[in-house]
Amino acid sequence: MKRYLLFDLDRTLWDFDGNAERTYRSMFAEFGLQKLCGVGFEAFHERYRVINDALWEAYRNGTLSKDLLALRRFSLTLEAFGCNADTKAIVSLSQKMSDYYVLEGTRQTGLMPGARELLDWLDVRRDRYCLAVITNGFSEAQLPKMKSSDIDRYFDYFFLSEDLGYMKPDRRFFDVALAQMKAPSEQSLVIGDDYKVDIVGAMAAGIPQVYYNKGSRPLPDGSCKPDYEIGNLLELKDILQKMEKSSSFRPDACS
């Protein structure tokens, strides 16, 4: 019986924060942002993160287009340090930064701790496990960065929200993914680091979940406990071995 493992990509397998920070540092130097903004990298980066998170939320909610997200995250950060976001020069600079970010960012190869070991372990068990990536990230970035970090070869399916027409946590994202793989929900497992996006979405679709909670963050108030919670990716091996003889990934099926 085949099992279906649906992995989120950013911050679950691909070290999004480490890779992004390296990219922003080189961008900061490349575009002379210290002089333009009058602050050091840390202050610039901190402000960028807040703005980027808010814009991503708007993008997920459908109130902001992808193109505007890609541009405004830089122009609004520049504005926060005294530039006028609507001038031609700042719009043009923001576009160049956005292009640079996609190009340089996708060349980064850092993975989350244990990711390679886990994927190698699963790779020799391909007769038992079918692997998929489930991601809301931009398609022009997600596939190149999987190739750069040499993890694309482990996966049988790539589900990108832009292709599916739905974004996690919309349950239709998960419904379409399972339907395409012909995967029964109880033999599938969603593994992700974002409670509100990966875990809530999988719960809505009735798929067992593994919450990769690396920093042991408390769950949001009033939320349901995920089926499994791990602080290290390699703990997933224990869960899979334990469930090997069970007909389902649902925890109550294991006894």
**What residues between 31 and 90 interact with Mg ion by CB under 5 A?**
none
Residue 72 has which token pair? 């405004």
Q: 136 with 60: CB under 8 angstroms?
A: yes
Give min distance, CB of 17 to Mg ion, in A.
Answer: 10
Q: In this complex, which beta carbon is closest to Mg ion, that of residue 30 or of residue 57?
A: 57
> For Mg ion, which residue has the nearest CB?
11
Give me the phi and psi of 53, to 5 degrees please.
Answer: -60, -45
In angstroms, the CA 43 to CA 51 distance is: 13
- The enclosing H or E element of 193 equals none
Judged by CB under 5 A, which of 6, 8, 201, 226 binds Mg ion? 8
Tokens of 52: 């980027």
Q: Kind and range of the H or E element at 1? A: none
At closest approach, how far in Å is the CB of 71 from Mg ion? 23
Shortest reach from residue 136's CB to Mg ion, in Å: 8
For residues 10 and 227, which CB has a smaller minimum distance to Mg ion in the complex?
10
Site residue total, Mg ion (CB under 5 A): 5
In the chain, the amino acid numbered 7 is: F
Tokens of 163: 């292709």
Nearest Cα residue to 154 out of 103, 117, 204: 117
Site for Mg ion in 187-216 (CB under 5 A): 193-194
Shorter beta-carbon distance to Mg ion: residue 79 or 194: 194
- Beta strand residue intervals within 20-119, DSSP E: none
Residue from 11, 60, 72, 73 in contact with Mg ion (CB under 5 A): 11
Of 28 and 208, which has the nearer Cβ to Mg ion?
208
Q: Which residues bind Mg ion (CB under 5 A)?
A: 8, 10-11, 193-194
